[in-house]
Amino acid sequence: MFGNQIAGNISAKGKKTFQSFDPKNNCPNTSYFFVATEEEIDLALTQSSNSFYSFCSGSPAERAFLLEQIVEQLIELKSEISQAYCKESGLSLSRFDTEFKRTVDQLLLFASYLENSKVDFISETSANQESSLPHLVKKKIPLGPVLVFGASNFPLAYSTIGGDTVSAFAAGCPVVVKAHPFHPETSFLVGKAIKSAIDNTNFPQGIFSQLFDDHFDVGQKLALDNRIKAIGFTGSYTGGKALFDLANSRQIPIPVFAEMGSINPVFIFPESLKNQSEFWAQHFAKSISNDAGQFCTKPGLFFIPNTENGKIFISILKNKLVQEPSFTMLHPTIYNRYEIKKEQLRNLSNGEFIEKKGSLSQLEGRQGLLTIDKDEFLQIELLKEEIFGPFAILCFYDSHDELLTYTKELQGQLTSTIIATQEEIINNEYVIFNIKQLAGRIIFNGVPTGVRVCESMQHGGPFPASTDARFTAVGTDSMLRFMRPIVYQDNC
């Protein structure tokens, strides 16, 4: 039985509980989690709000120390966390290792950034005595308590101590996490590590609380509460848009950064395939199918030249994709949604639909491809939407004008990938311009999966990829989501 984690205490006042699910073994896990009550929600918010002053009065170095302490405590609990992670997500131990390392590296990156950069300074303009113009120092200050929604597909790196929490902490904002119901035990253990880390600092425990719920009530109540000043979310369009609308319906609207995924188009130019069809087919087969394609940056739509090389590329891709291993999906609901979406596509389209054959374990995502023509792409809206799973749509194009038409039909994206020679990039300036308009990250001759966590990353793109393209969910700039500029005039 696991209770809610409120400012360092465990609280189990409610009557409702839920269990998580073990996708590998296709059965519920044995632990129960208490859904937070109104009283518990209120307490978490009060503690969060009350801790804000002392948290953000601390120095950036003190916040860096907190992040480093969290790393130590995570390492302490690593083996416990790994067990919970695997049994709640169906992801492999090797994926756990990768994600654990990434989570640790992310904490250390922010710690180092806090130690080495003037994180709160923006600019200074000197007084001009002659014209009686004042002296101005522009800084950044934290917004206040941030509500973080854990993501289903990254139980560590985008959840309880994922990018949202780390950037909010780095900014000086207390955090209330609404744990993702798919991996509550993993979240609980990470929350435990955070509590121990806070104990080793001078900060109050109020800076972190984590609440459980397998429905929307707790999240909605938190999002509507006046004490919450910003929201970070990673998940579906439906969830992100609902939160965005909720936050804007408040008497005092607040910023919501919802990263809602995308289909991540890949634009392949003809010359780039010369003698490279096999190379790219292999790379993309892995990028589509790894971890059952459950990445927000999985390439889901390819524009391929209607040439001999284009056809060779497709035929190799088909081969390679079905040869890749299949992976267990995160949850029955995700598996079922994937199956339904594939079925819809198969029914709507006259294109060639292929799938990996043979028997798979239950809840393993079966790789597939759908090859369509231009008319279908323009007519069927579903073809422009994310498919969460190891699936991609392939669409031929005959001319650069046709490619241009496609770019104008697409919605906002997290990434756009360009496979092209330098010459093709230079000679297709206007097409490239339109591809750039689509996304927050443009990959040249690479695959979009694997988001580097660093200062220069941009993860977030025009709506509906995210709710505010002017910010990023990954990298040190993600702190900017939870800060605002303030100028001090003549404070001397």
Are the C-beta atoms of 256 and 466 separated by less than 8 Å?
A: no
Q: How far is the CB of 153 from its own copies (least distance, A)?
A: 21
Rounded CA-CA distance 462/411 in Å is: 8
Quickly tell me which residue has 């990353």 as its tokens. Answer: 457
Scanning 123-131, 173-181, 201-209, 352-360 for contacts with its own copies by CB under 8 A, the matching segment is 123-131
b/e code 289-310 from CB counts within 10 Å (16+ = b): bbbbbbbbbbbbbbbbbebebb
The pair of structure tokens assigned to 84 is 């919970």
Q: How far is the CB of 465 from its own copies (least distance, A)?
A: 11
What is the full DSSP assignment across 224-256? H-TT--EEEEES-HHHHHHHHHHHHHSSS---E
Selected binder of its own copies within 30, 248, 315, 336 (CB under 8 A): 248
Selected binder of its own copies within 27, 38, 39, 57 (CB under 8 A): 57
CA 41 to chain centre: 25
Site string for its own copies, 59-98 (x = CB under 8 A): ----------------------------------------
What is the full DSSP assignment across 291-324? GGG-STT---EEEEESSHHHHHHHHHHHHHHHHS
Quickly tell me which residue has 């059952």 as its tokens. Answer: 292
Q: Which of residues 430-449 bind its own copies (CB under 8 A)?
A: 430, 433, 436-437, 439-446
φ and ψ at residue 436, rounded to 5 degrees: -65, -35
Q: How far is the CB of 192 from its own copies (least distance, A)?
A: 30
Q: Which is nearer to its own copies, 222 or 254 (CB)?
A: 254
Say which of 56, 86, 173, 296 is annotated catalytic.
Answer: 296
b/e code 337-350 from CB counts within 10 Å (16+ = b): bbeebbeebeebbe
Find the angle CA(105)-CA(107)-CA(108) to the nearest 5 degrees: 65
Interaction between residue 462 and its own copies (CB under 8 A): yes
Reply yes or no on whether 296 is catalytic: yes
Half-sphere exposure of 89 (CA within 13 A, CB side): 29
Selected binder of its own copies within 27, 75, 133, 426 (CB under 8 A): 133
Report whether the peptide linkage leading into residue 462 is cis, meaning its omega lies within 30 degrees of zero: no
Interaction between residue 458 and its own copies (CB under 8 A): yes
Question: Could you give the 3-state DSSP secondary structure of residue 65?
Answer: helix
Q: Which is nearer to its own copies, 14 or 299 (CB)?
A: 299
Q: How far is the CB of 35 from its own copies (least distance, A)?
A: 30
Interaction between residue 463 and its own copies (CB under 8 A): yes
Scanning 40-48, 206-214, 231-239, 428-436 for contacts with its own copies by CB under 8 A, the matching segment is 428-436
Interaction between residue 14 and its own copies (CB under 8 A): no
Selected binder of its own copies within 252, 275, 357, 359 (CB under 8 A): 252
Reply yes or no on whether 352 is catalytic: no
Q: Which of residues 254-313 bind its own copies (CB under 8 A)?
A: 254-255
Residues that bind its own copies in the complex, under the rule CB under 8 A: 53, 57, 122-125, 133-134, 136-138, 141, 143-144, 244-245, 248, 252-255, 411-412, 430, 433, 436-437, 439-446, 452, 454-458, 462-464, 467-472, 477, 480-481, 483-492
Active site residues: 259, 296
